[in-house]
Amino acid sequence: MKIALYARYSSDSQRDASIADQLKVCRSHAERQGWTIVEEYTDHAISGASLLRPGIQAMIADALAGRFQMVVAEAMDRLSRDQEDIAGLFKRMAYSDVKIVTLSEGEVTQLHVGLKGTMNALFLKDLADKTRRGLRGRVDQGKSGGGNSYGYTVVKQLDAQGEAVRGDRAIDEHQAAIVRRIFRDYALGKSAKKIASELNQDHIPAPTGGDWGFSTICGNPKRGTGILNNELYIGKLIWNRQRFVKDPATGKRQARLNPPEDWIKNDVPELRIVDDSLWLEAKARQQALRAAKPQAGASTLTTARDRKRPRYLLSGLTRCGECGGGYSMISADLVGCSTARNKGTCDNRTNIRRDVLERRVLDALRHHLMEPALFAEFCEEFTREMNRVRSAGRHSIDAAQAEIKKIDRDLDMLVDMILRGGAAERLNAKMLIMEARKRELETRLSQATEPLPLLHPEMAGFYRRQVESLHELLRDGSPAERLAATDILRSLVSAIVLSPTPDGLDIDVQGDLAGILKIATNAKTPGAFASGVSQVELVAGTGFEPVTFRL
């Protein structure tokens, strides 16, 4: 009997020794039964409320492949605590003719799945309720209900019995000064982006230890996230503002806002950092800015597809040549480095009008990346390489087919020798070797891919006409035609890198080979070339060598 072992522990508060202990008792049981262990699967510090665990997913895959006939675990709750998941796991194992045996329950049956699955699910709910009750009691005492906010430090101390006292916090004066600075600057009219940039310039680490961003300061007022929305800074502790539910498809937690009447509020004046007047000034400016924004629903992007569609021709393709960050809209007409504007950690302050950038990139595509002479040269080189790959692949296939024919002839000859009274044993041994070689070649041929197709000699001209047509549709076509042309033209570009120079900006347009081949060959997908062509970049410049072309 070939078996597999499975072990798991739930959280970081437990130890890897738990895994070792589980495997040890399972091995001892297997030895007493005379079973052969072919594999051991483990998941470390992962909850049993989901099957999205690497260890158990590998076990399921190997069970379907027939590597073992039984899974042994310490208990069912090590496999899963979720009713749906344990039932699904049981079905998969039954389909693969794999039994599930645990040291606690013995061989798992439908009855165990129903009863123990329900008990495990109730255990999780009861555990969650007890945890919330404990946190609620801690919050009622003015202590932390989980996590810590910027501006505070965790107080570590022991009670009279030597047990750790949890939930106590104290003001971190250095961070508290930063919090007050943020509120003062914001109340005086500085934007969150400007504040974040100045903090980064002063080399002040953000709450996560990295660079400050405007979202760290603004956050979400409804959820109480962000420096400007944390009411703990005025001595008010709010708990149960939101809850978390697991997405059954992904196993990831999703935040859901609770009704305000369910929020738990307590006064903790000893944790106040910001006075009421400064808090009210900041909130008043925040509300004024929110009121000045266009109302929700005023956007013309109404459908889900429109919301996902890039707003501008080059959205998502442009990036800064200094820091690698994105170039995005920084005003109604200008695009600039997002990192320089939002964090201040990049020195690239050179901006460019969006319409000018689009026009220069389109001109580059038409006159450089799409130049007939240059593209014809590329087609010639590309075709030569494809023919070489095709020739090598064809030669290998032809050689295998020729060897199979020779083996068939030799086998026929050996059969004739046996019929004429030859040494049957020696001839039979040789025939077995030859038949094994034939099966090997046939397997290789069945897995071989067909050689890549040859490119049409007029590909360059066709490519030029297609791109000219797209450019005309982008300029004069209907709204639907312009959208389609935009999507196709975007597929020709993998990246647009903007680097500052004394004279302005170098715009480096990098073409995507797959998109270019798709247009040039009039193919629905570039998959015909996927097995022999890597996704290399072609740069708009002199020819297709990777040099920057100044636009």
CATH of the domain at 38: 3.40.50.1390
| pLDDT for residue 415 | 77
Say which residue, 436 or 39, is predicted with more confidence: 39
Name the average pLDDT for the chain. 76
What Cα–Cα distance (Å) separates residue 89 from each residue in 6, 26, 42, 298? 13, 20, 16, 48
**Using an 8 Å Cβ cutoff, are 374 and 543 in contact?**
yes
508 with 540, same domain: the answer is: yes
Q: Averaged over 496-501, what is the pLDDT? A: 84
SS3 31: helix
Q: How far is CA 379 from the centre of its chain?
A: 35
User: What pLDDT sits at residue 48?
Assistant: 56
Q: Are residues 495 and 358 in the same domain?
A: yes
Task: Looking at mean pLDDT, say which of 120-129, 408-417, 489-498 comes out highest.
Answer: 408-417
- Cβ atoms of 348 and 340 within 8 Å: the answer is yes
CA distances, 341 to each of 162, 211, 327, 347, 464 (Å): 51, 13, 10, 10, 39
Identify the weakest region by mean pLDDT among 15-19, 107-111, 278-282, 521-525: 521-525
Q: How far apart are CA 351 and CA 529, in angstroms?
A: 39
| Number of domains comprising the chain | 3
Q: d(Cα 194, Cα 213) in Å, to the nearest integer? A: 10
How far, in Å, are 131, 253, 514 from residue 124 at the CA level? 10, 16, 50
- Among 91, 111, 126, residue at a domain's last position: 126
Q: What does the angle CA 415 – CA 421 – CA 426 come to, to the nearest 5 degrees?
A: 65
Q: Using one digit for the tens of pLDDT, what is the confidence trace for 509-539?
A: 776 555 565 555 554 444 444 333 333 344 4
pLDDT bracket for residue 351 (50, 70, 90): confident
Residue 420 located in a structural domain: no
Residue 219 lies in a domain: yes
**Which of the four pLDDT bands, split at 50, 70 and 90, describes residue 307?**
very low
In a domain, 98, yes or no: yes
Residue 407 lies in a domain: no
Mean pLDDT, residues 147-164 taken together = 82
What distance in Å separates the CA atoms of residue 57 and residue 43, rounded to the nearest whole number?
Answer: 10
340 and 237 in a common domain? no
Distance CA 437, CA 253 (A): 55
Residues 256-296 pLDDT 10s:
888 888 888 888 889 899 999 999 998 888 888 877 665 54
- Examine the domain organization and report whether 337 and 238 are in the same domain: no
Give the best-scoring range by mean pLDDT among 296-300, 310-314, 371-375: 310-314
Q: Answer yes or no: is 404 within a domain.
A: no
Q: 351: Cβ–Cβ under 8 A, 6 or more apart, which residues? A: 330, 334, 335, 336
In a domain, 162, yes or no: no
CA atoms of 74 and 100, how far apart (whole Å):
11
**d(C-alpha 49, C-alpha 407), whole Å:** 58
234 and 271 belong to one structural domain: yes
Is the predicted pLDDT of residue 299 greater than 50, yes or no? no
Q: CA-to-CA distance for 137 and 121, rounded, in angstroms?
A: 25
Please name the residue that has the structure tokens 């665990």. 53
Q: Are residues 270 and 313 in the same domain?
A: no
275 shares a domain with 316: no
Q: How many helices (H) and strands (E) does the chain have?
A: 17, 20
Q: Do 236 and 338 have their domain in common? A: no
- Which residue range(s) make up the domain with 309? 303-391+454-551
Same domain membership, residue 260 and residue 314 = no
Would you place residue 393 in the very low, low, confident or very high pLDDT band (cuts 50, 70, 90)?
A: low
Whether residue 3 contacts residue 30, with contact meaning beta carbons closer than 8 Å, is answered with: yes
- Parallel/antiparallel/unpaired status of strands 493-501 and 504-512: antiparallel
- State whether 197 and 226 are in the same domain: yes
In CATH, what number is assigned to the domain containing residue 268?
3.90.1750.20
Identify which of 308, 334, 362, 316 has the alpha carbon closest to the alpha carbon of residue 470.
362
Check whether residue 263 and residue 332 sit in a common domain: no
pTM of the model: 0.48
Least confident segment among 26-35, 256-265, 456-465: 456-465
Q: Are residues 466 and 540 in the same domain?
A: yes
Residue 418 within any structural domain of the chain? no
Integer Cα distance of 317 and 319 in angstroms:
7
What per-residue confidence (pLDDT) applies to 542?
A: 32
Asked whether residue 257 is assigned to any structural domain, the reply reads yes
Q: What is the pLDDT of residues 207-228, one digit of tens each?
A: 888 888 888 898 888 888 889 9
* Element housing 498 (H / E): strand 493-501
Domain end, chosen from 225, 258, 292, is at 292
Is residue 380 predicted with pLDDT exceeding 70? Answer: no
Single-letter residue type at 523? A
Statement: residue 69 has pLDDT above 90? yes
